[in-house]
Homo-oligomer: A and B are copies of this chain.
Amino acid sequence: MRPGGRSIHQIRLVKITRHFTRYAEGSVMIEFGDTIVICTASVEEGVPRFLKGKRQGWITAEYGILPRATHTRNHREAARRKQSGRTLEIQRFISRSLRASVDLTKLNEYTIILDCDVLQADGGTRTASITGACVALSDALSNMQKKGQIKTNPMKGLVAAVSVGIVAGEAICDLEYIEDSIAEIDMNVVMMEDNRMIEIQGVAEKEPFNQKELNTLLGIARSGINDLFKAQKIALAHA
Contact = CB atoms under 8 A, between A and B. Distances in A.
Contact of A42 (B42, B68, B192): B68
Interface size class on chain A is 35 or more
A203 B89 CA distance: 14
How many copies altogether? Answer: 6
Interface stretch (A22-30, A48-56, A226-234): A22-30
Contacts of A209: 196-197
Given A85-B91, A91-B85, A214-B197, A68 B204 contact: no
A64 B38 CA distance: 15
Contact of A88 (B22, B69, B89, B204): B89
B71 A115 contact: no
Nearest to A192: B208
A24 B82 contact: no
17 contacts: A21-B119, A23-B70, A27-B68, A40-B67, A42-B68, A76-B78, A76-B115, A85-B91, A88-B89, A96-B203, A194-B208, A196-B204, A196-B209, A198-B204, A199-B202, A200-B200, A214-B218
Contacts of A82: 78, 81
A125 interface: no
Contacts of A195: 210
Contact of A76 (B38, B62, B67): B62
